[in-house]
Structure 1
Amino acid sequence: MILAAGAADAEPASLDDYMKQARHAPAATVHYGPATSQVAELFLPKGKGPHPVVVLLHGGCFQKELEGFAQTSALAADLAGRGYAVWNVEYRKLGETGAGYPGTFQDVATALDRLRSEAPKHDLDLGRVVAVGHSAGGCLALWAASRGKLPAASPLRAADPLAIGAVVSLAGIGDLKGQGKAFGLPCGEHTIDRLIDAAGREAPFADTSPAELLPTGAKVVMVHGVFDSAMPPYTGRDYAAKVLQAGDRAEVVTIPNAGHFDVVIPTTAAWTEVVGIIDREMKSLAQ
């Protein structure tokens, strides 16, 4: 496990700083299902491919009332300017019809696998895919990389899930059972229970919690701001320890002067460090 630090000289970003980001227009919008939230945006770099792909999954406590998809378009545009194709994924959230279990997870799975039909149209390199998720989206990114380990009887299982080479979790949660109380403080005590239908299933974590689906073969980088009170750095450290114990590769990066939102605002020093991590992990997939 590696503990790293990057320079930052500003106060931690606020929720308002995050929310006021302008929406950026994608090169293409793809509806992978009939619901309004079953949509993904593709941002493309200039020049010829094949383009390495960043899958971007926003946060927002898995709840309809909280935004994220519009805000992550700023990250998508920034990454496209750096040479990446970016698949910015929206999904059904609690409060929307069909959200929770299994719908939210199935949305993420369907959106990722849809990349196979989009790849030839846009010259995407599906041998180089890095999933980047923020907060609740960090959980979904980690889960997406674990789909090959899903139980055979799970309705979330697919025959040939798209392979993810690395996951960069930005203030994300990896252990829904062990870290549920920490996640419940900012997001509501019963949010995870609602998401995974804990009341209606005998083993609700078995196919929803990334911690239950290790090892995956994907490199994991847990990134946290030092001043993140929503998902404190210890949560990333503890999850990385589980990943290492299972035999996978894991790293922890802590960023000074950063809070929960600095890592998802492209004008911050924290985002510059995140980009460096994405660059490094993508290069490792090309070797």
Structure 2
Amino acid sequence: MPADPRAVLTRPAPEPDRTVAYGDDPNQVADLRLPAGAGVARRLVVVLHGGFWRAEYDRLHTGPLAAALAAAGYPVAQLEYRRTGQPGGGWPGTLTDILSGVAGLPALAAAALPGRVSRAAPILLGHSAGGHLALYAAATAPATVGGVLALAPVADLGEAYRRDLDSGAVAELLGGGPAEVPDRYAAADPRMLVPIRTRTVVMHGSEDQQVPAEMSRNFVTSARAAGSDISLVELPGCEHFGLIDPESAAWPEVRAVLRSLHDDH
């Protein structure tokens, strides 16, 4: 693991093979990466980046992860979306972008990368706020999602608001707290959307300083009790960014869980 865990956020990665648009806004795009290996059509892996839904964080920081997944034989789409601080970002635009992108990307990718991408519902790999978005998509539009790997997800928006994660990020996303906009929390908070029928694995590092691992423990317990097909993999000694760093000690475990989700289909 690098001395600075955040180094992965600025590490260069190869340019994507294609970029496709799923809407008219400049942020409604996805970068596509061709899978290494034989030319067979495989299920798409859609990467949903984190950054607490804020404009200053974009899909580029998931480049090393996406490149590593492509090298392992997966077709990959790094989905961008409108974020808080941008026109149309926050409620509801950030959320509707995710639903539109996830639903549309298999066909867009199959057309852009002929013979390499299946049109089947994709596996969603979401980190941090992107983990929230992956869980939201699976709970809200399960027919469009083939499986979820949620890495250190913000899985409980009400609790994240109470803990004031990233200085008001949840209130900025939804336009207020649970007492002010309860209908928005009811519509967007994975904790309130269980059961999630799509097969889901949550991975979280025990040393996470950005999103406490306790949130994932509590969420998975609640989701399983409600009938969700969900499990938790907690990684001792791992912090927030190791989960998306192909050079970290955690990466082989992340890759193994993704393989189990992907190959089950």
2:237 equivalent among 246, 252, 257: 257
What is the alpha-carbon root mean square deviation over aligned residues? 2.0
State the identity %. Answer: 31
C-alpha contact (below 8 Å) 1:228/1:259 kept by paired residues: yes
1:169 equivalent among 128, 142, 150: 150
- TM-score, structure 1 normalization: 0.84
Q: 1:39 to 1:119 in 2, by over 3 A?
A: closer
Task: Show CA shifts across 1:166-217 (max 9, x none).
Answer: 21111111111134334x23x11x3212211237745111211122222231
C-alpha contact (below 8 Å) 1:240/1:251 kept by paired residues: yes
- Structure number with higher relative contact order (C-alpha < 8 Å, ≥ 6 residues apart): 1
| 2:123 pairs with 1:130 | yes
SS at match of 1:207: helix
Cross-structure match for 1:37: 27
Aligned-residue offset at 1:119: 4.8
Cross-structure match for 1:64: 55
More helix by share: 2
Task: Show CA shifts across 1:89-144 (max 9, x none).
Answer: 11111110110111101111111122243254234224362111111111001111
| 2:175 pairs with 1:197 | yes
Aligned-residue offset at 1:68: 4.0
What is the distance in 1 between the residues matched to 2:20 and 2:207? 36
SS at match of 1:144: helix
Cross-structure match for 1:94: 84
Equivalent position amino acid for 2:241 in 1? F
What is the distance in 1 between the residues matched to 2:175 and 2:215? 23
Cross-structure match for 2:259: 279
C-alpha contact (below 8 Å) 1:168/1:223 kept by paired residues: yes
2:95 equivalent among 105, 114, 122: 105
SS at match of 2:159: coil
Cross-structure match for 1:53: 44
What count of residue pairs does the alignment treat as equivalent?
259
C-alpha contact (below 8 Å) 1:129/1:163 kept by paired residues: yes
SS at match of 2:257: helix
Q: 1:99 to 1:84 in 2, by over 3 A?
A: same
Q: 1:29 to 1:272 in 2, by over 3 A?
A: same
Aligned-residue offset at 1:12: 7.0
What is the distance in 2 between the residues matched to 1:234 and 1:13? 24
Unaligned runs of 5+ in 2: none
- TM-score, structure 2 normalization: 0.90
Unaligned runs of 5+ in 1: 1-9, 149-160
